[in-house]
Each structure stands twice: as C-alpha cells, then as structure tokens.
C-alpha cells in the first residue's frame, strides 16, 4: 500500500514528508497507456501532489497544472488532505532519453511555461500561485515554487524506476521544509548534506524509517503515517453539470445532430453516455 510518512527532525526545526507511490504510478501507467517519459513526468507530479495535498487540512484540496509547451503538453494533478490523488497529461506517448541514457523530463515538459497551484477550501478557490518553469526538473522547479510562492526553504528529491517489462518498481518522493525557527546550524547541516546530492535513488528506495535514520540519525520524531491512493470521484452528475454550462444553442445542436453525447473522464478513462432524453432534460432545466 502506498503511504506518506510525516516527521519533524533536527531539533524540530524542519518538517519532513516521505511518499511511497509505486501503486499510484502503476495505476496511472495502466489507465493512460503511458510511455516512459510520460510516466516519469506524471508519476513525479502525482507524488508531489500527494505530498502537497497532505499538507492541507480537513477536506481541502489542490490542483497542480504544468505546461512548459513541450511535447507532453499539459499535466494536471488533483490531490487532497485525505491522501487521494489523480492526474493526466495531454500526450501519453512521449519518450526522450538523454546522452546519459536517462529519461529526459526537461525535453518532455519544455521550458516555455509555468507551474500553477490552485488550492480550494470548502469547494472555493482561496489561493492560486504560479511560477515560471526554470529547469524542467520537477524537484528543482517545485523547490523554486515553494520559495517564491510560500517563502519556504525547501528540499525536494524524486525518483522513479521502470522495469524492463515497463512497470514501475520504485516511485518515491522526499520533501524537507525549513521552519521559521530554524538555527544557522540546521541550515548549514542541510546545505552540507544536500548540496550536489547524487544518491537520490538509493536513499529513497529505503523505508521511511531508514531514510530518516540515514539523514538525521536519532534526531527525528514521526508524526503521522497514512495511506495514499489514486482515486477519481467523477460521476455522471458532475458531467451533467458540465453539459449544463453549454449554451442552449450548442445543446440543441448536439440533440439535433448527434442525438447523444459520450464523455470520457480524463483522470480515470471512465465513459459516460448521455441519451437524447438526458440531453433534453439538461436543456429544459436551463
């Protein structure tokens, strides 16, 4: 089962989130028929969404939107404080390998665009912020997002491992955020530990407790461990509301020309069929 572990460390001066998201990544892989670069980008964004969603409270939620005008197109991930996450991207069939034989997220995402995060509370938007995509490396670009949008010093590590049979063997994320009371000693320790850090895959493949022990020895306390799941809450009722936003003219055109409508959910690929009678009912309610 996928899960997230939240902790305090270094004399309670930093907060730590460790996400294990292999099942979520594999579900996204199957749902969207993703090629390697596409699953690399979407799985990492789902992991970030899961971590950021668990920073919220109650039934609050957020949406991450990324578009660097690269071949992968738009990336959209929804997450909430309950540990539920879902996502999709425009082009599932993208694959780029760099000269080091590593998946090239930068080329897939592109560098001409923005990351936007929209947070909702009680179904109402109360915060929206965007930053430019600087590197195409999601860990680096979200570190920049937290610094610019939330004035928070943050370290993010992400890793994804794909097997020869094209399944996901590892999908993990680590977020460390410095609290306002942090001492100079803590800042120096983090700087020395993570400057030029290159052992991401090895570190994140460990259990959450082993990761904490590796980084902080015994100077940490676990606050919470909870499950993460890929869950889509789409319904015919919700898509009916979407159809109801169309103009009467457009609805009449669909009724007269097509006599039905078929809508596929971007997040879970479930298909919803609307008969002529369904469409007439929606039109009459307008």
The token duo for 140 is 């680096």
* Shared domain check, 66 and 206: yes
pLDDT (tens digit per residue) in 170-197: 999 999 999 998 999 999 999 999 988 8
* Shared domain check, 131 and 54: yes
* pTM for the full predicted model: 0.94
Confidence of residue 166 (pLDDT cuts 50, 70, 90): confident
* Shared domain check, 259 and 176: no
How many structural domains compose the chain? 2
pLDDT value of residue 132: 97
* Shared domain check, 201 and 107: yes
* Shared domain check, 267 and 180: no
Q: What is the CATH number of the domain that holds 243?
A: 3.90.1280.10
Which residue, 214, 230, 246, sits at the end of a domain? 230
* Shared domain check, 273 and 177: no
pLDDT value of residue 146: 97
| Burial (0-12, 13-18, 19+ Cβ within 10 Å), 39 | buried
Strand partners, 66: 75, 115
* Shared domain check, 27 and 138: yes
Please state, in angstroms and rounded to a whole number, the distance separating the CA atoms of residues 152 and 174.
15
* Shared domain check, 252 and 207: no
* Shared domain check, 222 and 86: yes
Please state, in angstroms and rounded to a whole number, the distance separating the CA atoms of residues 215 and 211.
6
CA distances from 265 to 118, 268, 269 (A): 20, 6, 5
* Shared domain check, 246 and 208: no
Question: How many Cβ atoms from other residues are within 10 Å of residue 79's Cβ?
Answer: 27
CA distances from 204 to 126, 145, 213 (A): 33, 22, 12
For residue 150, the enclosing domain spans 3-230
């Amino acid at each position: 089962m996928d899960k997230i572990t939240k902790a305090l460390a270094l004399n309670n001066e930093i907060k730590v989130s460790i996400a294990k998201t292999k099942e979520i990544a594999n579900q996204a892989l199957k749902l969207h028929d993703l090629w390697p670069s596409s699953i690399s980008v979407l799985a990492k964004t789902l992991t970030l969404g899961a971590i950021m969603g668990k920073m919220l409270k109650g039934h609050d939620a957020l949406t991450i939107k990324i578009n660097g005008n690269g071949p992968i197109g738009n990336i959209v991930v929804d997450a909430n404080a309950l540990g539920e996450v879902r996502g999709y991207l425009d082009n599932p069939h993208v694959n780029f390998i760099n000269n080091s034989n590593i998946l090239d997220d930068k080329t897939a995402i592109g560098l001409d665009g923005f990351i936007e995060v929209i947070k909702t509370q009680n179904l109402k938007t109360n915060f929206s912020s965007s930053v430019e995509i600087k590197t195409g490396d999601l860990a680096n670009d979200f570190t920049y997002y937290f610094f610019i949008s939330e004035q928070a010093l943050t370290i993010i590590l992400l890793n994804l491992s794909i097997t020869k049979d094209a399944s996901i063997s590892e999908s993990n994320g680590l977020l460390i955020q410095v609290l306002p009371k942090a001492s100079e000693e803590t800042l120096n320790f983090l700087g020395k530990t993570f400057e030029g850090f290159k052992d991401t895959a090895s570190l994140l493949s460990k259990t959450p407790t082993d990761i904490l022990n590796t980084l902080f020895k015994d100077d940490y306390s676990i606050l919470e461990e909870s499950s993460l799941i890929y869950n889509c809450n789409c319904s015919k009722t919700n898509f009916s509301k979407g159809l109801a936003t169309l103009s009467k003219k457009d609805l009449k055109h669909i009724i007269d020309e097509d006599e039905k409508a078929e809508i596929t959910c971007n997040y879970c690929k479930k298909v919803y069929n609307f008969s002529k009678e369904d469409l007439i009912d929606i039109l009459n309610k307008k």
